Homo-oligomer: A and B are copies of this chain.
């Protein structure tokens, strides 16, 4: 079955973006093989805020990836390049059962919190950036369900000091 994988870059203090959505603090590490990472996925799942931020950066869609945006307030005409859903539970359940590659839970924390509470997240993959942000968008906004994880892989990148940690969500 397709897995839902929350794959994000995070500051050591647990933020995936700065207070204004900034991600200027995330260094590009030449040794991280993004192509290999992207190859695992054919679908991106996003909350409204992440979609709007991506649109502002001209990244509303990713080549070769279907995009699903979850929101109760967006209108269809706001999302010309994505599928819009107000019901993460049933949409994500259906996507998991359809054939295809893994589903990339791209952001943000609110959608992660909802899907985690519904037991629909299979993996949490975090690139820990050597930075304390001191505020911003949390990787998992409180209050949220407690969840045990199981470390499945870890790797350290010399040039930037990024540590990549992969976990399965324990059921």
Contact flag A156-B146 (CB < 8 Å), given A124-B132, A139-B14? no
Chain B residues within an 8 Å CB radius of A86 = none
User: Could you give 9 example pairs across A and B, Cβ below 8 Å?
Assistant: A12-B124, A12-B126, A12-B165, A19-B143, A130-B167, A132-B144, A133-B146, A134-B147, A151-B156
Interface positions of A from 107 to 140, Cβ below 8 Å from B: 113, 116, 124, 126, 128, 130-136, 138-140
- Nearest-Cβ distance from residue A14 to partner chain B, whole angstroms: 3
Apart from A113-B134, A128-B165, A135-B144, list 7 A-B contacts with CB within 8 A. Answer: A12-B149, A14-B15, A128-B128, A131-B147, A132-B140, A135-B142, A151-B156
Residues of A at the B interface (CB closer than 8 Å) are: 12-15, 19, 25, 113, 116, 124, 126, 128, 130-136, 138-140, 142-151, 154, 156, 161, 163, 165, 167
| Number of chain copies forming the complex | 2
Chain B residue with the shortest CB-CB distance to A168: B130
